[in-house]
A and B are shown apart, each in its own frame.
Chain A
Amino acid sequence: MRRATPGVADGPALLNGTLSIVLGWTALAALITLAILGLWVAPPDAVQGDAQRLMYVHVPAAWLAYLAFGVTALASVLYLWRRTRSPVWDRVAGASAELGVIFTGLCLVLGSMWGRPVWGTWWEWEARLVSTAVLFFLYVGYLALRRIPGPGRAKRCAIAALIAFVDVPIVHFSVEWWRTLHQQATVFNPDLNPEIHGTMAFTLVFGVLAFTLLYVFLLDRRYTLETLEEGREERELEQAIAERTGTAELVDAGGYTATLALRLRRARKSLPGSGGETSR
């Protein structure tokens, strides 16, 4: 399998190539096993029937959302702290937030599909749903901010990630006060006495593990992509600067006015932020 790997000049890779491939295949195998366990091996729920099987993907998706945003916050702190500051943390924060938004969205959609047969509605104005929706939008905003290039982007994004992260518990508790209807957490309920047993519990825990593997694999891939993109942008910039310096030498030599104008125009076009990118 041919994979794109960042060059040495682009910065360190998160995982080494072999490990990443092994992780990818393991995650795939785990997800297939999860599908078999969830769809055939685990028994249908006594009350909810087959609809309850959605739990085996809904709960892991919710777990990943929190894990991913936690990683984003941690990486942002590591970026802001001078002693650990490195573009690595900025990329990890961005990659993790993207995954978090995807899995939060997945969690909402799956929850909605589950709610339809069980609660009778696609959407219920209930505490955990509402706070998950707010969480989704908090990080959609963060991703919107990340897309804007320019100096200081990494620091700006790291601070924004922390502003959003501090809000998560406040949103959670305020909405919790407001209304509560969602079933209480099943495994980690306050008494720490799991209410489900046997195959169902095993499938759920296995699902969380499989999704976590998938998360680590995707995080590494997204990180690598980000590294390659940044490397490409830098090379393009260098090339554009080289072209400009070339034209500068022409000025020194005098003459060649027509060539100079043409080259300048070309250089300006290839410089990011100076040509067609006025909208940013």
Chain B
Amino acid sequence: MSLWREVWLVAGKDLRIEARSRVVLYQILPFGALVLLLFAFALDPSRGLLPRVAPGLFWIAVLLAALLAVSRAFAIEQQNDARDGLRMSGLDSSALFLGKFTAIALELLVLEVFLGVGVAVLYDVEVGSVAVLVLSALAATAGVAATGTLYGVLAAGLRVRETLVPVLLLPVVAPVMLGATRAWEAGLGGVASDGWPWVGLLALFAALYTGMGMLAFGPLLEES
């Protein structure tokens, strides 16, 4: 079986579970939207602040939702000892990593589309360069999903994982938060060309941690 077929097998399993349980749709997505709403309470909308800080608020909402998505992605492996199933499936460990990674990334992308529309409507922003926005979102999502999958499996067997994953993940994705926000500032109303170096940085981050994840997932799954 080729690597990509194995990847799709794992990702397909996770996405099928999601399609049936609708946890992302009914819990994580409303959570993200709620965060966007609460930001408007914190930063009075009448002062014209929201459109200016919209990129940052959007990415904070995505990161917080991503924490839940990662937690969910490994909670489903917890039930019925599904992790043992993964371990004994005979699938390549880098395929397992890429599969979990793909499922989380796709869920996050769906989330971003909805939250992006939410930001556009609620915060009244103008779209400048669609290319910068889309490419930076893709690269940032890959980075968050890769680090999230890594820390997710790292903490999978531990009883404190719900509190541990955020404290591990958030500092590591700090550059993603920074890069994605700057790129979106450039893509929304700013100078589009300012965004490209950040897209490059985000892509580098994603590539680095995807590589690390493929290497480390096997040993981490064994120990979890």
- With the chains together, A124 CA to B88 CA distance in Å? 52
CB of A145 closer than 8 Å to a CB of B: yes
- With the chains together, A176 CA to B82 CA distance in Å? 43
Q: Mark A229-245, 1 if CB is under 8 A from B, else 0.
A: 00000000000000000
Which residues of B are found within 8 Å of A162, using beta-carbon distances? 212
Contact B208 A166 (CB under 8 A): yes
- With the chains together, A179 CA to B42 CA distance in Å? 26
Instruction: Give the contacting residue for A174; candidates B154, B175, B224; CB below 8 A.
Output: B175
Contact of A159 with B220 at beta-carbon distance under 8 Å, contacts A171-B174, A279-B159 already known: yes
Which residues of A are found within 8 Å of B174, using beta-carbon distances? 134, 167, 171
Q: Mark A264-280, 1 if CB is under 8 A from B, else 0.
A: 00000000000000111
Contact stretch, chosen from A18-26, A54-62, A135-143, A198-206: A135-143
Contact stretch, chosen from A42-50, A150-158, A180-188: A150-158
- With the chains together, A193 CA to B158 CA distance in Å? 51
B83 to nearest A CB, angstroms?
A: 13
Which residues of B are found within 8 Å of A171, using beta-carbon distances? 174-175
Contact of A141 with B171 at beta-carbon distance under 8 Å, contacts A151-B223, A159-B216, A166-B208 already known: yes
Instruction: Give the contacting residue for A155; candidates B170, B205, B219; CB below 8 A.
Output: B219
In the complex, which residues 136-166 of chain B have their Cβ closer than 8 Å to any Cβ of chain A?
147, 150-151, 154-155, 157-160, 164
CB of B3 closer than 8 Å to a CB of A: no
Contact B158 A152 (CB under 8 A): no
Which residues of A are found within 8 Å of B100, using beta-carbon distances? none
Contact of A175 with B178 at beta-carbon distance under 8 Å, contacts A152-B223, A163-B172 already known: yes
Contact of A152 with B222 at beta-carbon distance under 8 Å, contacts A174-B201, A175-B178, A280-B159 already known: yes
Contact B223 A155 (CB under 8 A): yes
Contact A164 B216 (CB under 8 A): no
CB of B131 closer than 8 Å to a CB of A: no
Q: What is the size, in residues, of chain B's interface with A at 8 Å between Cβ atoms?
A: 33
Which residues of A are found within 8 Å of B151, using beta-carbon distances? 160, 163
Which residues of B are found within 8 Å of A163, using beta-carbon distances? 147, 150-151, 172, 209, 212, 216
Contact A167 B222 (CB under 8 A): no
Contact B164 A156 (CB under 8 A): no
B210 to nearest A CB, angstroms?
A: 12
B156 to nearest A CB, angstroms?
A: 10
- With the chains together, A155 CA to B168 CA distance in Å? 16
CB of B189 closer than 8 Å to a CB of A: no
Among B164, B208, B223, find the residue whose CB has the most chain A CB atoms closer than 10 A.
B223
Instruction: Give the contacting residue for B164; candidates A137, A148, A152, A155; CB below 8 A.
Output: A148
CB of A256 closer than 8 Å to a CB of B: no
Contact of A178 with B182 at beta-carbon distance under 8 Å, contacts A156-B223, A159-B219, A167-B175 already known: yes
Closest residue on chain B to residue A149 by CB atoms: B158
Contact B178 A148 (CB under 8 A): no
Which residues of B are found within 8 Å of A278, using beta-carbon distances? 159
Which residues of A are found within 8 Å of B197, using beta-carbon distances? 177
Closest residue on chain A to residue B173 by CB atoms: A167
CB of A9 closer than 8 Å to a CB of B: no
CB of A196 closer than 8 Å to a CB of B: no
Which residues of A are found within 8 Å of B155, using beta-carbon distances? 145
In the complex, which residues 84-132 of chain A have their Cβ closer than 8 Å to any Cβ of chain B?
none
Contact A174 B179 (CB under 8 A): yes
Instruction: Give the contacting residue for A144; candidates B167, B175, B205; CB below 8 A.
Output: B167
Can you show 6 pairs from A to B with CB atoms below 8 A apart? A144-B164, A145-B155, A162-B212, A167-B171, A171-B174, A279-B160
Chain B interface residues toward A at CB < 8 A: 147, 150-151, 154-155, 157-160, 164, 167-168, 170-172, 174-175, 178-179, 182, 197, 201, 204-205, 208-209, 212, 216, 219-220, 222-224
Given A167-B171, A278-B159, 10 more pairs with CB closer than 8 A: A145-B154, A159-B219, A164-B171, A164-B172, A166-B208, A171-B175, A175-B175, A175-B178, A177-B197, A280-B159
In the A-B complex, the 9 residue pairs with the smallest Cβ-Cβ separation, listed nearest first, are A152-B223, A137-B171, A174-B175, A141-B168, A138-B171, A141-B167, A170-B175, A134-B174, A159-B216
